[in-house]
Amino acid sequence: MVRSEQIKQNNDAIKKCLKAHNCTQTELAQKLGIKLQSVTKWLQGDMSLSRAQEIAKHLNVSISELIGEDKGDNSEIITFQGKRYKITPLD
């Protein structure tokens, strides 16, 4: 998958998760104690994996669901910014 397609997929998935949890980008920024500009950067593909895990935990979704790779098989192996990762839950 081309990086721009991956970013669009991630962007759409994050927006879907926010909508499903009745959370706006502004509310997410406030709850995480960050600037709205940071959320905007995430939607443009500038997000670290650790931040993605934090957002997923906040929204109570899997990281694969957050970035649009939820295949329904409970697999937590994802492709993020062109690299493959095995995700383990944060406590």
Summarize pLDDT for 57-78 with one digit per residue, the tens: 888 888 777 777 655 555 566 6
User: What number is the average pLDDT over the span 79-88?
Assistant: 68
**pLDDT exceeds cutoff 80 at 56:** yes
> 18-47 pLDDT, tens per residue?
888 898 989 988 988 889 998 888 878 787
Alpha-carbon distance of 44 to 39, in angstroms, equals 9
Which tokens in the block code for residue 68? Answer: 């649009």
Q: Tell me which amino acid residue 6 is.
A: Q
**pLDDT exceeds cutoff 70 at 88:** no
For the chain, give the percent of residues with pLDDT over 90: 8
What is the CATH number that goes with domain 3-86?
1.10.260.40
- Concatenated DSSP letters of 15-47: HHHHHHTT--HHHHHHHHT--HHHHHHHHTT--
**In the chain, domain spans:** 3-86
Which tokens in the block code for residue 37? Answer: 């500009």
